């Protein structure tokens, strides 16, 4: 179980590193006249994603979840592939990547780079988050966390974040 603790702590550290990148990119966007959308739902997203990592640990340690070899190793590989996918997205978006929805007037959309070249997949980062939200807790069979996060994340993504981002992206020039 200790290695699972280390995995979740490493994931948390990685998220903090992403926040550093996001803060730098946000400052740059605001210096270029960026406008932020969806500030109301952002604290809920932060709470959900922070709670997700805490819940992964709580369920495994408090409910003594077992490591099921076939499931655990498969989910670990998927979770690690999700990390690679996250950085594929971050690299493709470059200075436009952010944890917030900030649009710089006159900036163009990122298209045909990285996962954004697949036009049938308009929000690849969110697909990665969904997959990771299932895989990471199931590394150590924390199925309650996987299910709860998936439902709550779907509410936030489909009810707030994706519609907000879609409206904001319409402000960009094609």
The predicted pLDDT at position 174 comes to: 57
Taking the C-alpha atoms of residue 96 and residue 109, their distance in angstroms, rounded to an integer, is 9
CA distances from 11 to 21, 77, 116, 132 (A): 15, 14, 24, 11
Record the tokens describing residue 87, joined without a space.
Answer: 């950085």
Q: What percent of the chain has pLDDT over 90?
A: 82
Of all helices (H) and strands (E), which one includes residue 76? Answer: helix 69-93
Answer whether 121's CB lies under 8 Å from 115's CB: yes
CATH of 2-169, one of 3.90.1150.10, 3.60.21.10, 1.10.3720.10, 1.20.120.1630: 1.20.120.1630
What are the structural domain ranges in the chain? Answer: 2-169
pTM of the model: 0.90
């Amino acid at each position: 179980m200790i290695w699972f603790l280390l995995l979740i702590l490493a994931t948390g550290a990685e998220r903090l590193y992403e926040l550093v990148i996001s803060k730098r990119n946000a400052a740059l966007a605001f210096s270029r006249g960026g406008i932020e959308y969806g500030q109301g739902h952002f604290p809920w997203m932060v709470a959900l994603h922070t709670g997700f990592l805490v819940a992964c640990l709580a369920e495994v340690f408090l409910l003594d979840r077992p490591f099921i070899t076939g499931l655990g190793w498969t989910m670990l590989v998927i979770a690690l592939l999700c990390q690679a996918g996250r950085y594929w997205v971050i690299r493709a978006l470059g200075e436009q990547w952010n944890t917030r929805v900030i649009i710089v007037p006159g900036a163009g959309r990122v298209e045909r780079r990285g996962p954004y070249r697949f036009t049938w997949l308009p929000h690849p980062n969110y697909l990665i988050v969904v997959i990771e939200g299932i895989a990471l807790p199931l590394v150590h069979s924390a199925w309650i966390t996987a299910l709860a996060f998936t439902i709550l994340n779907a509410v936030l993504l489909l009810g707030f974040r994706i519609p907000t981002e879609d409206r904001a992206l319409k402000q960009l020039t094609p």
